[in-house]
């Protein structure tokens, strides 16, 4: 049974029972499924996801014609763009065979069946399918410019290049951005790219720790320093020695503690609460906040000298709504992650769901998206997550700026076509009714990366 699961999957769409048996017997090296008509073929595509379809062009109820066969090709191509369709036609039916290829079929074969020739066609189709699958995996890896970071937007790629340059240094960096934009993910990427990656990265949320406990959390305390201090305890700073200290929500740090943090950043040594010993600490400091630190400085809520100390390098992270192409890229990443976690057979999104994901402003940014996708995977009854599964609906605003309408419509159509075809340029061009060079020009015009 384990061996059968590793076999390449082949769907044979043929209404002649004798030929069905002959082909099933001949192709015993594959995991073969049989369909007698278009409806059965579509059901098999949804259920088994075969790599190759070997289809007779003349299907019931119109065996004398080929229109049902053409409909089958169109539906399979739309449902599973990566599947290779090989059409079997009559000996004198070359014109329809060419038409089938134009509609999305990979290749054609003219009857009567010659097993050796058919073997070669199928072997080549499986080989091409495997290469394309490997290429898609490589493309996905290319969109992980840093450990844990998924992005194709030019602004985010620029930030990733900046982090790569900063990683070997000990420059104190501060990430600025709305809640949920991935500040901690980027901080971890910076740590993992640095020479300190084999040491610990210790994080503390400055907004989550009560003010009266913050000093002992950061710097530790000696036995007897206060009631309940029954033993010496190391603080976050000392625990992160030779590694990285991540101060999340630094904008919420109380003013009295800001002075002590500043002294540590200047002197690079600490004193535990209740102790007198100066302890040298070698640690890289990374900060993050969703607050406007410059405004806090003006209001007297954040020390100006500390601001300049922690912002040796200030990195502003754009919200998800400003990242071109990242929404669907992240959504697919979270879908795969959620499907694996929940043992789900969900494989993608419906076209409407893709449109909503791309057009929604995501006020909660990446954190909100991950929660939505997790919900969608759990709620989905089919292999594609719908808008209802996500709990979202498409909201259209009245827009009378003709240039803006044209921009949104054309860019949106290209993004939807790429999503529906799993970013296959040839298939996307066919869906849009343009040539490959024209589609490349449009993608360049609208700043759409090939994902």
What CATH number did the domain enclosing 224 receive?
A: 3.40.50.300
Structure tokens at 369: 């998206």
Whether 394 maps to a domain, the answer reads yes
Q: Which residues pair with 233 in a beta bridge?
A: 221
CB 244 within 8 A of CB 286: yes
* Three-state secondary structure call for residue 272: coil
Q: How many CA atoms lie within 13 Å of 227's alpha carbon, on the beta-carbon side?
A: 0
CA angle 233, 237, 243 (to 5 degrees): 120
75 falls within a domain: yes
- Of residues 371, 384, 447, the one with CA closest to residue 415: 447
**Could you tell me if 301 and 163 lie in one domain?**
yes
Question: Of the candidates 268, 298, 318, which is a domain's last residue?
Answer: 318
* Dist CA 119 CA 27 (whole Å): 8
Q: Does residue 35 surpass a pLDDT of 90?
A: yes
Here the tokens at position 325 are 């192409």
The number of C-alpha atoms within 13 Å of 97 and in the hemisphere containing its C-beta is 15
- Clarify whether residues 17 and 52 are in a common domain: yes
DSSP codes of every residue in 386-446: -HHHHT----------HHHHHHHHHHHHHHHHHHHTTT-HHHHHHHHTS-HHHHHHHHHHT
- Identify the pLDDT of residue 290: 95
DSSP output for 65-122: SSHHHHHHHHHHHHH-TT-EEEEEE-TT-HHHHHHHHHTT-SEEEESSP-HHHHHHHH
89 and 166, same domain (yes or no)? no
The pLDDT of residue 59 is above 70? yes
Q: Which residues pair with 415 in a beta bridge?
A: none
pLDDT greater at residue 94 or residue 178: 178
Query: Which DSSP symbol is given to 64?
Result: T
Q: Do 278 and 416 belong to one domain?
A: no
Q: Does 313 lie in the same domain as 325?
A: no
Query: Which of 19-28, 146-155, 347-356, 396-405 holds the top average pLDDT?
Result: 19-28
Q: Of 117, 141, 165, which marks where a domain is finished?
A: 141
Length of the chain measured in residues: 451
**Does 213 or 417 have the greater pLDDT score?**
213
Among 275, 293, 318, the domain boundary falls at 318
Q: What is the pTM of this model?
A: 0.62
How much is the average pLDDT of 273-289? Answer: 94
**Residue 280 placed within a domain:** yes
Q: Residue 390 — left, alpha, or beta (φ > 0 → left; ψ -120 to 50 → alpha)?
A: alpha
Give how many domains the chain has, as a whole number. Answer: 3
Whole-number average pLDDT of the chain: 88
* Amino acid 3: pLDDT: 40
Q: Are residues 304 and 364 in the same domain?
A: no
pLDDT higher for 123 or 419?
A: 123
Q: Can you give the pLDDT at residue 139?
A: 58
C-beta separation of 267 from 237 below 8 A: no
Residues 82-105 pLDDT 10s: 899 999 987 768 888 888 888 889
Percentage of the residues of the chain whose pLDDT score is greater than 90: 53
Helix axes 436-445, 402-420, angle to 10 degrees: 120
Rg for the chain (alpha carbons), in Å?
29
Distance CA 263, CA 31 (A): 69
Q: Indicate whether 146 belongs to any domain.
A: no
Q: How far apart are CA 35 and CA 433, in angstroms?
A: 31
Alpha-helical (H) ranges within 276-401 are 293-298, 304-310, 326-341, 351-359, 365-379, 387-390
Quickly list H helices, 199-350: 211-219, 236-239, 255-267, 293-298, 304-310, 326-341
pLDDT of residue 138: 59
Tokens of 370: 């991950």
CA distances from 145 to 59, 142, 186 (A): 48, 6, 11
Determine, yes or no, domain membership for 364. Answer: yes
Confidence of residue 65 (pLDDT cuts 50, 70, 90): low
Q: Regarding predicted confidence, which is higher, 104 or 218?
A: 218
Strand 107-110 to 84-89 pairing: parallel
Residue 70, domain member (yes or no): yes
The mean per-residue pLDDT over the stretch 201-205 comes to: 96
Residues 217 and 183 in one domain: yes
User: In sequence order, which residues have a C-beta less than 8 Å from that of residue 178 and are 6 or more positions away?
Assistant: 290, 317, 319, 365
Supply the CATH number for residue 94's domain: 3.40.50.2300
Task: Kindly state whether residues 159 and 132 are assigned to the same domain.
Answer: no
Give the structural domain span for 253. 154-318
Instruction: Give the containing element (helix H, strand E) for 245.
Output: strand 244-248
Neighbours of 220 (CB within 10 A): 23
If asked whether residues 377 and 406 sit together in one domain, one would say yes
In a shared domain, residues 177 and 269: yes
pLDDT greater than 50 at residue 261: yes
Task: Give me the pLDDT at residue 228, please.
Answer: 85
Could you tell me which residues come within 8 angstroms of residue 313 by beta carbon, excluding any fewer than 6 positions away? 166, 171, 172, 173, 174
Residue 351, domain CATH: 1.10.8.60
Dump pLDDT digits (tens) for 352-368.
888 889 889 999 999 99
Query: Is the previous residue joined to 55 through a cis bond, with omega within 30 degrees of 0?
Result: no
If asked whether residues 267 and 332 sit together in one domain, one would say no
- Domain shared by 50 and 171, yes or no: no
Residue 4 has pLDDT above 60, yes or no: no
Q: Which two tokens stand for residue 154?
A: 């030019």
- Residue 450 belongs to a domain: no
User: Strands 284-289 and 9-13, how do they pair?
Assistant: unpaired
Kindly list the distances between the CA atom of residue 404 and the CA atoms of 58, 408, 409, 410, 411, in Å, as whole numbers in the listed order. Answer: 46, 6, 8, 10, 10
- Position 149 in a domain: no
């Amino acid at each position: 049974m384990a061996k059968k699961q590793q076999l390449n999957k082949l769907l044979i769409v043929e209404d002649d029972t004798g030929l069905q048996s002959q082909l099933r017997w001949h192709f015993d090296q594959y995991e073969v499924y049989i369909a007698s008509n278009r409806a059965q073929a579509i059901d098999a595509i949804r259920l088994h996801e075969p790599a190759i379809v070997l289809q007779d062009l003349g299907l019931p109820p119109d065996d004398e014609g080929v229109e049902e066969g053409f409909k089958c090709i169109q539906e399979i191509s739309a449902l599973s763009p990566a599947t290779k369709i090989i059409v079997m036609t009559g000996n004198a039916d070359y014109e329809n065979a060419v038409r089938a290829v134009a509609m999305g079929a990979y290749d054609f074969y003219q009857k009567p069946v010659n097993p050796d020739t058919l073997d070669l066609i199928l072997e080549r189709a499986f080989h091409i399918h495997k290469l394309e699958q490997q290429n898609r995996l490589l493309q996905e890896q290319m969109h992980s410019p840093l450990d844990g970071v998924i992005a194709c937007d030019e602004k985010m790629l620029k930030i990733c290049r900046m982090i790569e340059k900063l990683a070997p240094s000990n420059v104190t960096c501060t990430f600025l951005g709305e809640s949920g934009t991935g500040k901690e993910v980027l901080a971890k990427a910076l740590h993992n790219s640095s020479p300190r990656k084999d040491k610990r990265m210790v994080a503390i949320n400055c907004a989550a720790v009560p003010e009266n406990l913050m000093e002992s959390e950061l710097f530790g305390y000696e036995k007897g320093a206060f009631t309940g201090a029954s033993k010496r305890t190391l603080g976050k700073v000392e625990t992160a020695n030779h590694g990285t200290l991540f101060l999340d929500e630094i904008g919420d740090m109380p003013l009295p503690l800001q002075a002590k943090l500043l002294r540590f950043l200047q002197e690079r040594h600490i004193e535990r609460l209740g102790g007198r010993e100066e302890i040298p600490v070698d640690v890289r400091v990374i900060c993050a906040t969703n607050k406007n630190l410059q405004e806090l400085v003006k209001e007297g809520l954040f020390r100006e000298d500390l601001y300049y100390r922690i912002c040796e390098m200030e990195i502003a992270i754009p919200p998800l709504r400003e990242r071109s192409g990242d929404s669907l890229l992240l959504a697919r990443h979270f879908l795969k992650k959620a499907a694996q976690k929940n043992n789900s057979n969900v494989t993608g999104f419906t076209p409407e769901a893709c449109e909503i994901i791309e057009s929604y402003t995501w006020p909660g940014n990446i954190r909100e998206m991950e929660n939505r996708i997790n919900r969608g995977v759990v709620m989905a009854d089919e292999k594609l997550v719908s808008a209802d599964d996500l709990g979202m609906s498409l909201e259209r605003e009245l827009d009378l700026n003709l240039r803006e309408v044209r921009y949104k419509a054309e860019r949106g159509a290209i993004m939807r076509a790429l999503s529906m075809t799993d970013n296959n340029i040839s298939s996307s061009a066919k869906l849009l009714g343009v040539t490959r060079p024209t589609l490349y020009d449009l993608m360049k015009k609208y700043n759409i990366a090939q994902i």
